Structure 1
Amino acid sequence: MNEPQEPKSPDIQGEGNYEATRRYDKATTDFVKSGKVDEAARNARPQSEAEAEEMRKAEQEGKSHAKGEDPALRKGGASK
């Protein structure tokens, strides 16, 4: 006969950790409401043309592994 299985960890809930998702969503919402998004975007931009080129190459590398763009992201994408 099969041994009884131990209960799953309360942190693992099917496809993910719902509490962690709630914390992330709240932190993201709080950050957007803080008014610091534009400043963070300015601080994240490349500091040199070499860094900008490195970022473009990394983006292309990532895209080369992608299965394709989500059609909903295109201009005039899927309507609700």
Structure 2
Amino acid sequence: MGQRNEGEGNKTAAREYNRDTTEFAKSGQVEGKAREAKQAMEGKDADAMRKAEREGKSHSHGEDRLLKGGAHKSAE
């Protein structure tokens, strides 16, 4: 079955992401994965990971001001 193009605001992808992140949070694996990530950032691949992060951020339009607490969504 082909994937239907839902355009911007893909509700199916959002629903799947929310389901999967909730399952992971409940799985009991969060602390172990956090330790693995910390070790990776301190290990031999740390420079490559930081370089990849900088590259990704270079394509960003910046942090969403609503996420930084600088503004509140208005009730419309």
Q: TM-score, normalised by structure 2?
A: 0.62
Q: CA deviation at 1:21?
A: 4.5
- Give unpaired runs (5+ residues) of structure 2: none
**Alignment RMSD:** 2.7
Q: CA deviation at 1:22?
A: 3.5
Partner of 1:41: 34
Which structure has the greater CA radius of gyration? Answer: 1
1:53 aligns with 2:47: yes
Q: Compared with structure 1, are the counterparts of its residues 22 and 64 closer, same or farther at alpha carbon in structure 2 (3 Å cutoff)?
A: closer
Alignment of 1:1-80 (within 5 A): 11-12=3-4, 14-15=6-7, 16=10, 18=12, 21-45=14-38, 46=40, 48=43, 50-74=44-68, 76-80=69-73
> How far, CA to CA, are the matches of 1:13 and 1:39 in structure 2?
36
Identity %, equivalent residues: 46
Runs of 4+ more than 6 Å apart: none
Q: TM-score, normalised by structure 1?
A: 0.60
